[in-house]
Structure formats: structure tokens, C-alpha cells
Amino acid sequence: MNYIDMEKQLDTITGGLTQELEDEGAIDKRGNAVDIVKFNRILDRMIDKCNKILQQLEIERYDPNSNNLVQSRIQWLRTIRGIRTLNWHTGTNSDREEKIVIGSDYGSLRDVFKDGAKQVIRLFGFQKKPVSPEHTK
């Protein structure tokens, strides 16, 4: 099974996610979960179908990218299940991405640059190295 066939098979499983959730009455018009039990049941069913494909790939010879494709689709479904909405902007509460954008928290680009420089120093530990007397001559 090649990469394109795998993608088509996964699209048949998860392609009608929104419609299936709406038909069951699990989400409202905005995409937020109304009935958590139905919402989780539908997503768990799709995750189980993807896991069966993953088991099939372990038995047969496969393209390594197909395994990554299935794993990413399973992770996508688990993320939707965790935030309980199809509307990503209201479901994610991560401040990490919001701090990158210039907004009301920052007065100017200089503040953004300073904050970014602090993040880089904190992550990589860049420090000024003392210059030895040999190199100053």
C-alpha cells in the first residue's frame, strides 16, 4: 500500500467528521461539543479504525511515510477529543503562540526582540565567553 492509497483510506475514515458529529447531535453550529459521550464515542471509533490500519501496516511491507501519516491522523483526532471542539481558535489556550504575535502586550518591536532574545538565551544558554589574554594581543 503506497502513500496515496493510505491517504485516501484515511480520508474516507475522517472525511465526514463534522457531518457525522452534527448528525449525532454531538456538536452545535459553532463546532463545540454539546454531548461529550457521543462526541468521544465517534472520535474513538475513528481512532480505532486508524489503529487497525496501523496494525495492518505492521504486518505488511509498507512505505515508512504511511506509518507517519496514520500516526499524525490519530494524534489529530486525539487533539480534537482533548479540546472538545472543532473550532481550533477557541479550543486552544496556549499562550506560547500568542506571545509571538505583536499585540497589546508589547509596546514596540524592540520589546518583542528583547523577549525573543531572552527566550533564545534561556533555551540555548548563550553567554559571553571571557576573552583570554592571549587573544587580546
Render 84-122 in DSSP notation, one character per residue: TBS-HHHH---HHHHHHS--TT-SSHHHHHHHHHHHHHH
pLDDT tens, position by position, for the chain (137 residues)? 677 788 889 899 988 888 999 999 988 888 888 999 999 999 999 999 999 988 888 887 767 778 888 899 999 999 888 888 887 655 445 444 444 444 455 556 677 677 777 777 777 665 556 566 666 55
Q: Which domain holds residue 71?
A: 3-91
Judgement on whether residues 26 and 64 belong to the same structural domain of the protein: yes
Judgement on whether residues 102 and 86 belong to the same structural domain of the protein: no
Judgement on whether residues 45 and 109 belong to the same structural domain of the protein: no
- pTM value is 0.62
Structural domain tally of the chain?
Answer: 2
Q: Measuring CA to CA, which residue among 79, 71, 77, 75 is closest to residue 6?
A: 71
